[in-house]
């Protein structure tokens, strides 16, 4: 038996969690606040390393050392955003189905996450000296563009 995507999203919205979050006066705003705090945590870790790769901040610190110190914060922020994003999604899955910004966010989120934990991490870990490289700059710009796109698309969902 096959189920089309809309029917799948409708079934997700009808789950216990989706219903409880949607029907509660305070659950969605509280979950969203935690989601945004996690975004700030993750964004701060991304921004600090990317600005270092651009040569615009923490110049006395090698990017590799900075990335190693902030990687747990990046990981924790991404994990907390996922944990809080799921119940928010479940509460309005059908709205998300019809929302182009939701699909943009999910696509950019997948690319940004893979990029952060592979390419960006590898480039930052190789930057053991204080000098800024062209590859480091390009990586930082790509990282910032991807994460900005995720945040912008996420914010756009509410207004679409």
Q: How far is CA 123 from CA 1, 134, 150, in A?
A: 46, 11, 21
The pLDDT score that the predictor gives to residue 123 is 93
In a domain, 3, yes or no: no
Report how far residue 95's alpha carbon sits from residue 89's, in angstroms, rounded to the nearest whole number: 9
Q: Which residue has the tokens 């907390």?
A: 80
Residue 83 domain boundaries: 11-157
Report how far residue 77's alpha carbon sits from residue 49's, in angstroms, rounded to the nearest whole number: 15
Contact 87, 16 (CB under 8 A): no
In a domain, 125, yes or no: yes
**What pLDDT digit, counting tens, does each position of 86-141 carry?**
999 999 999 999 999 999 999 999 999 999 999 999 999 887 776 677 888 999 99
In a domain, 22, yes or no: yes
In a domain, 5, yes or no: no
In a domain, 74, yes or no: yes
In a domain, 119, yes or no: yes
Q: Structurally, how many domains does the chain consist of?
A: 1
The pLDDT score that the predictor gives to residue 110 is 96
**What pLDDT digit, counting tens, does each position of 39-76 carry?**
999 999 999 999 999 988 888 888 899 999 999 999 99
């Amino acid at each position: 038996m096959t189920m089309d995507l809309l029917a799948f999203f409708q079934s997700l919205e009808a789950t216990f969690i989706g219903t409880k979050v949607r029907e509660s006066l305070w659950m969605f705003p509280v979950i969203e606040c935690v989601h945004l705090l996690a975004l700030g945590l993750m964004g701060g870790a991304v921004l600090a390393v990317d600005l270092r790769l651009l040569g615009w901040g923490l110049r006395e610190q090698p990017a590799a050392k900075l990335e190693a110190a902030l990687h747990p914060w990046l990981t924790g922020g991404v994990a907390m955003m996922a944990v809080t994003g799921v119940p928010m999604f479940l509460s309005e899955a059908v709205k998300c189905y019809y929302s182009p910004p939701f699909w943009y966010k999910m696509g950019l989120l997948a690319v940004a996450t893979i990029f952060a934990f592979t390419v960006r991490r590898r480039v930052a870990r190789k930057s053991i000296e204080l000098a800024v490289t062209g590859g480091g700059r390009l990586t930082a710009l790509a990282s910032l563009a991807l994460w900005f796109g995720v945040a912008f698309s996420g914010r756009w969902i509410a207004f679409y």
